[in-house]
Amino acid sequence: MKQDWLEDLIALLDTGSLINAALARNISQSAFSRRIQSIEVEIGAELIDRSSKPIAPSRILLSHEQKIRQLSFQQKHLLKQMKIESQTGSKQIVVAAQHAISTSLGEYIINAISIKESKAHVRLRSANYAECSILLLTEQADLGLIYKTHHEISKNHEFLDETIISQDQFIPVFSKHLAQDLIEGPQKKDLNVISYPTDTFFGAQFNRYILPNLETKYNIITIVETALSPAALEFASASVGVAWVPKALAQKGLDDGNIIDLSADLGKLGLNIVAQRHFNKRKVIDNQIWSKLSFETK
């Protein structure tokens, strides 16, 4: 479908009326009405409900709203990618990675791709666990990089290839200068923590594997809740509370001596760094690139 048609339909969905949609598209109402009629003739379905006052989107149009928006996005993305390849003589490879991975390991991934594809333009999209999956399944990303725990068993996916490319650890960190006062003492004491929302990947892992053991020794007090592990790391560095973060993300602070790993006292969780690609993207992320993604973290 023409991109202009999709944008006309989205304007109609966004505004809910012909008048406002025409204003949004910067044309007269009569011209916009003729364009909608042309689309209706082409597809053989009514897209506006002419019995309502004022005229509004039809039931059929409303029922396909999500697909229309997705199609518009994908077409724009395709045209942009084609333009980049035409101007630079290179293809674009889109990598969707969890925030902690893109922050700490993005350089390794880009280098691994660049070794094979010297003319490739790599676009690194930082997202949460669920968003990475959506970008892969809708083919908006060529490669996905996510964390999985050692407890998760690899399984065959209907649409995805999957391989473990490295190991990491989910560790508790805190300001090195105040860490001793935080944990020492025989009696059960308060422990200030930086937590994650329960519907996030790290929040679910913390609640399932870390929190039950902590609660036998400490009164857990959530000081700050954030969905972003880089933000949690900053709070821990500033002595706001203990934060569990991937070790690869915390490595620079550990090496500089600004924070300390409290795993021996508070517990840690093993993580796998997993690469994923859609079956339809095997030509973009070919086996030579796929095999070069493995690396070691400290």
Determine the pLDDT at residue 279. 84
- 231 shares a domain with 179: yes
User: Is 298 a domain residue?
Assistant: no
- 204 shares a domain with 150: no
User: Which DSSP helix (H) or strand (E) runs through 18?
Assistant: helix 18-24
Determine the pLDDT at residue 188. 61
Determine the pLDDT at residue 50. 85
- The domain of 154 spans 86-164+272-291
- 42 shares a domain with 14: yes
Position 181 pLDDT exceeds 80: no
How many separate domains does the chain show? 3
Among residues 28, 44, 71, the one where a domain terminates is 71
- Average pLDDT of the chain, as a whole number: 84
Q: Where would I find the beta strands (DSSP E) of 150-248?
A: 160-175, 189-195, 218-225, 242-246
Contacts of residue 63, defined as CB under 8 A and 6 or more positions apart, other chains included, come to none
SS3 call for 235: helix
User: Is 78 a domain residue?
Assistant: no
Q: What is the mean pLDDT of residues 135-140?
A: 88
- 175 shares a domain with 150: no
Position 246 pLDDT exceeds 70: yes
Q: What is the mean pLDDT of residues 285-293?
A: 76
Determine the pLDDT at residue 259. 92
Position 186 pLDDT exceeds 60: no
Q: How many other CB atoms are there within 10 angstroms of residue 146's CB atom?
A: 23
Residues 138, 140, 141, 144: is their CA dihedral positive or negative?
Answer: negative
Per DSSP bridges, beta strands 92-98 and 121-127 are: parallel
Position 125 pLDDT exceeds 60: yes
Position 223 pLDDT exceeds 90: yes
Determine the pLDDT at residue 169. 95
- 91 shares a domain with 139: yes
Rounded CA separation 2/80 (Å): 15
- 240 shares a domain with 185: yes
Position 115 pLDDT exceeds 60: no
Determine the pLDDT at residue 208. 94
User: Is 186 a domain residue?
Assistant: yes
User: Is 79 a domain residue?
Assistant: no
Give residue 118's Cα distance to chain centre.
26
- 235 shares a domain with 104: no
Q: Looking at per-residue confidence, does 223 or 289 come out higher?
A: 223
Position 170 pLDDT exceeds 90: yes
Q: What is the CATH number of the domain that holds 62?
A: 1.10.10.10
User: Is 30 a domain residue?
Assistant: yes
- 114 shares a domain with 30: no
User: Is 28 a domain residue?
Assistant: yes
User: Is 159 a domain residue?
Assistant: yes
- 146 shares a domain with 217: no
- Looking up tokens 């003739």, which residue turns up? 41
- CA distance to 3, 6, 63, 224, per residue, from 231 (Å): 39, 38, 39, 10
Best-predicted range by mean pLDDT (13-27, 104-118, 201-215): 201-215
Is the pTM here over 0.75, yes or no?
no
pLDDT exceeding 70 applies to what percent of the chain? 87
- 148 shares a domain with 279: yes
User: Is 124 a domain residue?
Assistant: yes
Give residue 87's Cα distance to chain centre.
28
Q: Where would I find the beta strands (DSSP E) of the chain?
A: 48-49, 56-57, 92-98, 121-127, 143-149, 160-175, 189-195, 218-225, 242-246, 259-261, 269-278
Contacts of residue 75, defined as CB under 8 A and 6 or more positions apart, other chains included, come to 3, 6
Q: Which long-range contacts (CB under 8 A, 24 or more apart) does 151-154 make?
A: 151/209, 152/272
Tokens in use for 251?
């490595």
Q: What is the mean pLDDT of residues 88-100?
A: 79
pLDDT band at 120 (very low <50, low <70, confident <90, very high): low
Which residues, in sequence order, are bridge partners of residue 220?
Answer: 191
Q: Looking at per-residue confidence, does 77 or 100 come out higher?
A: 100
Position 118 pLDDT exceeds 60: no
Determine the pLDDT at residue 155. 61
pLDDT in tens, 187-215: 568 899 999 999 999 999 999 999 999 99
60-74, 119-133, 144-158: which has the minimum mean pLDDT? 144-158
